[in-house]
Structure 1
């Protein structure tokens, strides 16, 4: 057997050629033929007594092809590992005319996409911004309004009054179709709310949507479900076909509410409740702020790390790996996105290797247990630990281990970003929660 690697001028594409002689595969083929002759059940012959010559005639070509394919797979894989080739995806066979009936020696070629070496930016060479969110009075008020509505008693009165919500179908005046289903809050309308007073189911109310919210595209998008672009383009009259009126009596701030929001006896006073609400809201904003910063880190790393990819091979490999799912035209259209994803994967792997980042099994189980507790709004107790661990173990075994791999990858991704956060300059910018929402809306 002889294996050669011919790199193209760009050093990113290569042809791997495997030359086989009869001596490379003959012994394995003969052994397989004898094995078949012992197991084959052919009419006219006792089990184990089928002549090898007959087995060769009936199955010889198939056995030859199987053995050569197996030999090729091991040889190519071994060559790549032995020579420490960093390849993209998998080797792709080059089409050729092979005559297995008459040839004894064969030459097989494989196209390789080679991944280049690259350097990560020096420590502190990249700067990112992080929003340091402060809780403003407006956001506090909105949070308590949401809690009062979510946990208050809701009724469906016959006619609407100030502060009620109208559930119905909204559409542009004069347009066909049933419109979009929404819940319109009369207390959030800046103008024209009087048109909805006394509204009953099946009433059709015509109003200027833009005027109703004083031209606030963010509010229009929020309450109608439109995209930000659609909301900004809103003009003229709209109609709301009322389906029902909803009125919510604000929930009382008592132990029953505290338990509903945070779990039984987690907080036992209004002061503790206020503190817990504030800390929970701030945790959410901190998490969102970190997510935005992490996206900045990824974008800045991609901008500052020079990686040249084997472009043509990558496109062909994407078509092959997604056969029946993606066309060459679709890959061409979205190639930049695929390239960014691959480059980030390479950067991430380099960070993992350079810093010897690892994920332990206990980390995966602990993370899954916390997610389960979070779904039921519960905190861990000694009594719960065994049963929650059982749920976690069962979840991680499902989908043939797919859930386990997903949790592993999620934790590893977090560790990579945590490592990079320590190597970039982070500028904290103070911003109110309301401004933060407005800045990142849509």
Structure 2
């Protein structure tokens, strides 16, 4: 089974984590390695709600967690929170015949005509996935290297007091455990903003709007390969961006991508082909 669900990050006391991770994605039960958790997921239905320890469920697989929550693998590796899960749909996987009906169902009417075309299309999509994984790895490496090498003294004492003052539920233990990640993310935000300012990088509403459309289009295609009409997709995107949380999240994604693209354009990249299993072992 594949659970299409909304996941919301929870605080230690079980309440919603303020400004925490909110994601919509697919939970593949065949990737869940914890047998006890897997047993609780088998048989869930649409609109069911439950708490999920994603780190435990996926055996600490940062790549799987990052893909599900749309976060970096570095953040996924450090993630300890539980998530409130609301099931939106349940898809059950069954073996299908390789015929035109199957091809049309997967890729849309008449996009693929035969098994050779099917293989070529699958290869194309796998290559696109590998490129996305490689870009994510490069993005994480750039983040780690720049935050490590950029000398910047933050007012740590003030920031700790500010975090306590603005979050009454934050315990000293939680502050101690999470401050280094907070400081690193703040440092990266300052680096990002300087790159944007110094290089006159523009983030327009059209960029955010197109990114929202792509996100929604990918989600809708999980249910049907037939794309929505452009005007309908645009309306969905406009409604989606009316929610401040959604708009901020997409804006930050666009900003990060523009900075990443700029750094790639000025950096010297040494490309190397390796087997995918070796790639997944890279830190």
Common fold by TM > 0.5: yes
Secondary structure of the residue aligned to 2:109 is: coil
Specify which of 112, 132, 137 is matched with residue 292 of structure 1.
137
Aligned to 2:176: 332
Aligned to 2:110: 265
Q: Does the Cα contact within 8 Å between 1:307 and 1:343 map onto a contact in 2?
A: yes
- Structure with bigger RCO (C-alpha 8 Å, 6+ apart): 1
Q: Distance in 1 between matches of 2:137 and 2:151?
A: 23
Aligned to 1:409: 252
Aligned to 1:281: 126
Q: Distance in 1 between matches of 2:274 and 2:257?
A: 25
Secondary structure of the residue aligned to 1:308 is: coil
Structure 1: gaps of 5 or more residues = 1-164, 171-178, 183-223, 229-247
Aligned to 1:363: 207
Specify which of 231, 234, 246 is matched with residue 389 of structure 1.
234
Q: Distance in 2 between matches of 1:426 and 1:374?
A: 30
TM value normalised by structure 1: 0.42
Instruction: Name the one with the larger helix percent.
Output: 2
Structure 2: gaps of 5 or more residues = 1-29, 40-56, 62-92
Deviation at 1:379, TM superposition (A): 6.2
Q: Distance in 1 between matches of 2:131 and 2:150?
A: 28
Q: Which has the larger radius of gyration?
A: 1
Secondary structure of the residue aligned to 2:272 is: strand
Aligned to 2:219: 375
Deviation at 1:440, TM superposition (A): 5.3
Q: RMSD over aligned Cα, in angstroms?
A: 2.6
In the alignment of these two chains, the number of paired residues is 200
Deviation at 1:426, TM superposition (A): 1.5
- CA deviation vs aligned residue, 1:330-365 (integer Å, no higher than 9, x gap): 223332212111111110110111111122122222
Deviation at 1:297, TM superposition (A): 0.3
Cα distance, 1:402–1:225 mapped onto 2, change above 3 Å: closer
Secondary structure of the residue aligned to 2:271 is: strand
Cα distance, 1:289–1:323 mapped onto 2, change above 3 Å: same
- 1:150-299 pair list within 5 angstroms: 179=36, 181=38, 226-227=59-60, 250-299=95-144
**Does 1:314 find its partner at 2:162?**
no
Cα distance, 1:371–1:264 mapped onto 2, change above 3 Å: farther
Secondary structure of the residue aligned to 1:256 is: helix
Q: Distance in 2 between matches of 1:374 and 1:333?
A: 36
Instruction: Name the one with the larger strand percent.
Output: 1
Q: Does the Cα contact within 8 Å between 2:107 and 2:226 map onto a contact in 1?
A: no
Q: Distance in 1 between matches of 2:98 and 2:263?
A: 44
Deviation at 1:424, TM superposition (A): 2.3
Q: Distance in 1 between matches of 2:208 and 2:119?
A: 33
TM value normalised by structure 2: 0.63
